[in-house]
Amino acid sequence: MSILTKYILKKYLLNFIIVLISLELFFVGIDFLQNFKDLPNSANLQLLYILYNAFFTLTLALPLSIIFGWIITLVLFIKNNELVAFNAVGSASSKIYAPVVKVSLFLIALLVLLQATPLAYSYDQKRKIAKGEYFTNTKSDIFLKYNDNYIYFEKLLPLEKKAENIHIYKVKNDDITQTIIAKDAYFQNDRWYVVDAKIITKPSNLEQNDAKLDVKYEKFLHTLEGFRPKILDNVYESKSNFSIFDAVSALILLSNQGINTDKIRGALYNQIVVPFFVVPIILLTFAYASLNSRFFNMGRFVSSSVFGTLVVWGIFFMLFKFTNGGIVTPEVSILLPMIVWLLSALYIYNRKMNS
C-alpha cells in the first residue's frame, strides 16, 4: 500500500466514522425519545430496543455515511490544496478515489452479510418491544398451500417452533383425498412432526357399495419438510422483513408451489443490490470536484452532492415500496433502474473527466 493510499484512507475513514456515529446517535436518539413512553420499564428491554434500532438504522446510515464522509474528505482536500499536490506528484485520478471505492465495496458487502443473520429482523424486534410483544410471538388462523397439501394452523408459535390445532388436506385432481387432524405439531430436523394425528382417507371410488372412509391414528407423522416456522411467519405477515437466508429459502419453496414471490425478490434486491448505489455517486462527486479552491463554489458543491445523494437514495426507497406493495415487479422497479443508474453515472463520469 502506497503512502498516498494510506493517507487518503486515514482521512476518509476518520470522516466516515464521525458521520456514521453522528447519524446513528441522531436517528436512534430521536426514535428513543419519541417512543420512550411506550417502552417497558425494564432497563434490559430498553437497551435491547436501542441495540435493535441501532442496527436497523445502520442499514440506512451506512450507505449515506460512505458518501457524506467522501464529500467531507474531498472538501478538505480541495480547501487545503491537497488535490493539487496529489496531481503535482503524478498521481492519476483513479489512484485518489480507488481506495475509497474499495473500502466502500467492503463495507457494503459486510452490511449485506449482516443482513443474512437474525439481525435482519431488528425492526420487527424493536417494534415488538415497543408493543409489549417481545416475549409473545403468535399468529392465528394461517392457511397455506404446500405441494399437494393445504394446511391450516389455528395458532403458530414461530419462536417455539410449534403449531396448534392443525388440519392438513391432501388434494388430488381438485378433490380432497385425505385429511390429517391433530392438536399439536413441532418443527424438528427440518420437518414438521404431527403428534397424535387422526388420518381420514376417502376411497378412490365412492360409487362402490363397500366404499367408506378409512380412519386411522398415528403417534408421529412428519410433513412440510423444509418449511421453517420463521418462513411461515414472514410469508403470513405481509409487513415482516426477511433475512437473506430466509428470503432465499422462502423464494425456492414458494416458487415450487407456484405462489407469487414478488415481495420476497424485492426484499432480496433491496438488501443485496440497492446499497451499491453509493459507488457511482463517489465517482460523480469526484468528477465534479475542482483542484483549485480559489474559483470553486464550495457551498454549491456540498449542497448539490448531499441533495443529489438523498434524491437517488429516496428514488430507490420509493421504488422498493412500490415493489413491496405489489404495484410493479422487482426486476422492473429495482434491477432495471439500478442498471440504468450505473450506466448513466459511468457515462456522465467519463464525459466529465474527458472534457
Whole-angstrom Cα distance, residue 118 to residue 242?
A: 9
Judgement on whether residues 193 and 250 belong to the same structural domain of the protein: yes
100 falls within a domain: yes
Judgement on whether residues 252 and 136 belong to the same structural domain of the protein: yes
Pick the last residue of a domain from 213, 241, 265.
265
Per-residue three-class SS string for the chain: CCHHHHHHHHHHHHHHHHHHHHHHHHHHHHHHHHHHHHCCCCHHHHHHHHHHHHHHHHHHHHHHHHHHHHHHHHHHHHHCCHHHHHHHCCCCHHHHHHHHHHHHHHHHHHHHHHCCCHHHHHHHHHHHHHHCCCCCCCEEEEEEEECCEEEEEEEEECCCCEEEEEEEEEEECCEEEEEEEEEEEEEECCEEEEEEEEEEECCCCCCCCCCCCEEEEEEEEEECCCCCHHHHHHHHCCCCCCCHHHHHHHHHHHHHCCCCCHHHHHHHHHHHCHHHHHHHHHHHHHHCCCCCCCCCCHHHHHHHHHHHHHHHHHHHHHHHHHHHCCCCCHHHHHHHHHHHHHHHHHHHHHHHHHC
Comparing CA positions, the residue from 49, 44, 45, 18 lying closest to residue 34 is 49
Pick the last residue of a domain from 227, 245, 265.
265
260 falls within a domain: yes
Q: Starting at the edge strand that comes first in sequence, how are the strands of the sheet with 149-157 ordered?
A: 139-146, 149-157, 162-172, 175-188, 191-201, 214-223
Q: What is the pLDDT of residue 208?
A: 65
Q: What is the pLDDT of residue 235?
A: 56
Q: How many domains does the chain have?
A: 2
Non-local CB neighbours of 286 within 8 Å, separated by 6+ positions: 74, 93, 96, 97
| pLDDT of the chain, 355 residues: tens digit per residue | 788 888 889 999 999 999 999 999 999 999 888 888 888 888 888 898 899 999 999 998 999 999 999 999 999 988 888 887 887 777 777 788 889 999 999 999 999 999 888 888 888 788 888 877 666 666 667 777 777 778 888 887 776 778 888 888 888 777 788 888 888 888 887 777 888 888 888 777 666 666 677 788 888 877 777 666 656 555 555 545 678 887 787 777 777 766 677 888 888 898 899 999 999 999 999 988 887 777 778 889 899 999 999 999 999 989 888 887 777 888 998 999 999 999 999 999 999 888 6
Q: What is the pLDDT of residue 323?
A: 82
Q: What is the pLDDT of residue 26?
A: 93
Whether the CB-CB separation of 73 and 17 falls below 8 Å is answered with no
Judgement on whether residues 224 and 104 belong to the same structural domain of the protein: no
Whole-angstrom Cα distance, residue 278 to residue 342?
A: 10
119 falls within a domain: no
Q: What is the pLDDT of residue 325?
A: 73
Judgement on whether residues 243 and 310 belong to the same structural domain of the protein: no
284 falls within a domain: yes
Judgement on whether residues 194 and 279 belong to the same structural domain of the protein: no
Comparing CA positions, the residue from 353, 114, 347 lying closest to residue 243 is 114
Q: How many CB atoms lie within 10 A of CB 110?
A: 11
Judgement on whether residues 134 and 166 belong to the same structural domain of the protein: yes
96 falls within a domain: yes
Judgement on whether residues 279 and 246 belong to the same structural domain of the protein: no
Q: What is the pLDDT of residue 211?
A: 65
What range defines the domain where residue 192 resides?
130-265
Judgement on whether residues 293 and 232 belong to the same structural domain of the protein: no
Whole-angstrom Cα distance, residue 38 to residue 176?
A: 48
Whole-angstrom Cα distance, residue 244 to residue 271?
A: 8
* 258 phi, psi to nearest 5 deg: 75, 25
21 falls within a domain: yes
323 falls within a domain: yes
123 falls within a domain: no
Whether the CB-CB separation of 202 and 216 falls below 8 Å is answered with no
Pick the last residue of a domain from 214, 238, 265.
265
Q: What is the pLDDT of residue 233?
A: 56
Whole-angstrom Cα distance, residue 192 to residue 186?
A: 5
Judgement on whether residues 259 and 176 belong to the same structural domain of the protein: yes
Q: What is the pLDDT of residue 12?
A: 93
Residue 196 Rama label (left phi>0; alpha psi -120 to 50; beta): left
Judgement on whether residues 290 and 251 belong to the same structural domain of the protein: no
Query: Where does residue 83 rank: exposed (0-12), middle (13-18), buried (19+ CB within 10 A)?
Result: buried
Q: What is the pLDDT of residue 113?
A: 92
Judgement on whether residues 279 and 252 belong to the same structural domain of the protein: no
Non-local CB neighbours of 259 within 8 Å, separated by 6+ positions: 145
Judgement on whether residues 141 and 260 belong to the same structural domain of the protein: yes
